[in-house]
Structure 1
Amino acid sequence: MTTTMKHAASQSDMKEDEWHARVELAALYRLTAMFGWDQLIYNHISVRVPGEPEAFLVNPFGIMFDEMRASDLTKVYSDGTAVGEKGYGVNEAGFFLHSVLHDARPDINCVMHFHSVEVAAVANHPQGLLPLCQEAMLNFDTISYHDFGGILVDDTERESLIEDLGQNNIMLLRNHGVAVVGRSVPATFNRAFNLDKACKIQVATLAQGAQPVQPEQAIVDSVIKTYSRLSGPDLGRLEFDALMRKLDRLDPSYRQ
């Protein structure tokens, strides 16, 4: 991976829409930590740079999610050139996964990858995610699965990642975790939140030992249809804006 060292990004250095993308992404990192989905300095979330479809913003490899600031984020191009990394570098597996998905799907502007315990547990379940609650049903028709092939640095896995994701929005990674994608930061967070809640409910339900109650397929289809109609292009915006206000009350430094 090629790197180009520059000073830390500042709001005066860039267009308004890139700075806005940085602030939202930094907020998403803080929220990921707040909800317990982070894993030390590992895992990664990216956002495509507005006006630069060949570039995305991602975390420098070494900064904790709960300390992420807009100016900390590294801009990475599809050829591997990293700008503004502040001496940390970029995680190789993070670059590989995110560059593959962004390149394959022009409609994707945000990619989340994490290994929360319950999500990883459900990814390992032979049946994967089950429609045991409303949160599971919301995205039930846009979930796919990818078999584990080792740490994501091998280019031979590129085509299988692209094929397995297809046009879906959630890809459960067997023996690993998940990749959640979306057209916006709020939409991606919305899917990640509902998935994590659904996986928690599934793990708790199956732990009871009894055969779980499952709704009829017609009910699942009805929930999917209703959710699709109600969500629209602003999926997740109301709750994400509310959560940004919460972050502002707790610690607004993510905006720096």
Structure 2
Amino acid sequence: MSATEKELRIQLAACYRIFAHLGWDELIFNHITVKIPETDHHFLINPYGLHYSEVTASNLIKVDINGQQLDDSPYRPNPAGMVIHSAVHAAREDVICIGHLHTDAGSVVACQQEGLRTDNFYSVLLHKQVAYHDFEGLTVVAGEKERLVNSLGTKNFLILRNHGILTCGRSIPEMFSNLWILQRACEIQVAADSSGRPLIPIADDIADKSFELLSIQTAGAPSGALEFSAMQRIVDRIDSSYRDL
């Protein structure tokens, strides 16, 4: 195992613990993957059957782009996870990490005909950056891969209609940051809708310059690095067993 893979295993295991801490886990379901550089599209995924709070650096499963398991783990990857993640990892060389959620807020927005509106602080940051994929049932059929990839295109935010939300990143922290923003945007939209009160629209010219304003806020720092490190410190204080190799 290379030093790079060891580092990615620890960081990905931390990401699973962060998701559990935030309440983003779904029993034993859903998945986060990270591609291992300098390999033939090998990537790491959680053992199907373990809760996110049980994931460690050592029990993550290594698979190839065709879903073939490359280790002797007694666990297997989630079939739906393999369809979604192998499709995106194969098509997008720029994508290192992919996260997928079925949170209440994300699933509600995924079920709404209009999808995510750009009328709150977080959703406007995603103006023109969110793609949509129509529901085809449980995602376990390989034939859906091409359509899913076409739906995503070059974007890093995907709402799977009637299903949930997904984000990509050039690193684990970037994927986490993207998913947190999308999740917050969905939470606020659902909460605002539940108020039953008229909402204030955001003008197109403001929405159009949101990406530029966000770049000023981040001041050139790697996307998600500060946020992920802060959350990793929290899970370290709670239980650092995820670092086990």
Q: Is 1:32 the counterpart of 2:19 in the alignment?
A: yes
| 1:18–1:49 Cα contact (<8 Å) kept | yes
Shift of 1:94: 0.7
Aligned residue for 2:114?
127
Map residues 51-66 of structure 1 onto 2, 5 A cutoff. Answer: 51-66=38-53
Q: What is the CA–CA distance in structure 1 between the aligned matches of 2:36 and 2:233, rounded to whole Å?
A: 23
Question: Of 168, 192, 198, which aligns to 1:205?
Answer: 192
Q: What is the CA–CA distance in structure 1 between the aligned matches of 2:195 and 2:28, rounded to whole Å?
A: 34
Aligned residue for 2:55?
68
Q: What is the CA–CA distance in structure 1 between the aligned matches of 2:165 and 2:121, rounded to whole Å?
A: 19
Shift of 1:233: 6.5
Map residues 122-161 of structure 1 onto 2, 5 A cutoff. Answer: 122-161=109-148
Q: Is 1:253 the counterpart of 2:241 in the alignment?
A: yes
| 1:139–1:191 Cα contact (<8 Å) kept | no
Q: Secondary structure at the match of 1:70?
A: coil
* Structure 1 segments (4+ residues) deviating >6 Å: none
Q: What is the CA–CA distance in structure 1 between the aligned matches of 2:172 and 2:118, rounded to whole Å?
A: 25
| 2:124–2:210 Cα contact (<8 Å) kept | yes
Shift of 1:229: 5.1
Q: Secondary structure at the match of 1:57?
A: strand
Question: Of 169, 177, 183, which aligns to 2:170?
Answer: 183
Aligned residue for 1:6?
none
Q: What is the CA–CA distance in structure 1 between the aligned matches of 2:66 and 2:187, rounded to whole Å?
A: 38
| 1:21–1:50 Cα contact (<8 Å) kept | no
Paired residues in the alignment total: 243
Shift of 1:79: 2.5
| 2:66–2:86 Cα contact (<8 Å) kept | no
Q: What is the CA–CA distance in structure 1 between the aligned matches of 2:100 and 2:112, rounded to whole Å?
A: 19
Q: Is 1:43 the counterpart of 2:27 in the alignment?
A: no
Aligned residue for 1:234?
222
Q: Secondary structure at the match of 2:165?
A: strand
What TM-score do you get using the length of structure 1 for normalisation? 0.91
What TM-score do you get using the length of structure 2 for normalisation? 0.95
Q: What is the CA–CA distance in structure 2 between the aligned matches of 1:243 and 1:53, rounded to whole Å?
A: 31
Q: What is the CA–CA distance in structure 2 between the aligned matches of 1:58 and 1:233, rounded to whole Å?
A: 27
Question: Of 157, 176, 179, which aligns to 1:192?
Answer: 179
Question: Of 83, 96, 99, which aligns to 1:96?
Answer: 83
Aligned residue for 1:219?
206
Q: What is the CA–CA distance in structure 2 between the aligned matches of 1:229 and 1:139, rounded to whole Å?
A: 15
Aligned residue for 1:5?
none
Q: Secondary structure at the match of 1:207?
A: helix
Shift of 1:110: 0.3
Give the counterpart letter for 1:241 in structure 2: S
| 2:47–2:55 Cα contact (<8 Å) kept | no
Q: What is the CA–CA distance in structure 1 between the aligned matches of 2:232 and 2:101, rounded to whole Å?
A: 20
Structure 1 vs Structure 2 CA RMSD: 1.4
| 2:107–2:164 Cα contact (<8 Å) kept | yes
Aligned residue for 1:169?
156
Shift of 1:85: 5.3
Question: Of 84, 90, 96, which aligns to 1:109?
Answer: 96
Give the counterpart letter for 1:108 in structure 2: V
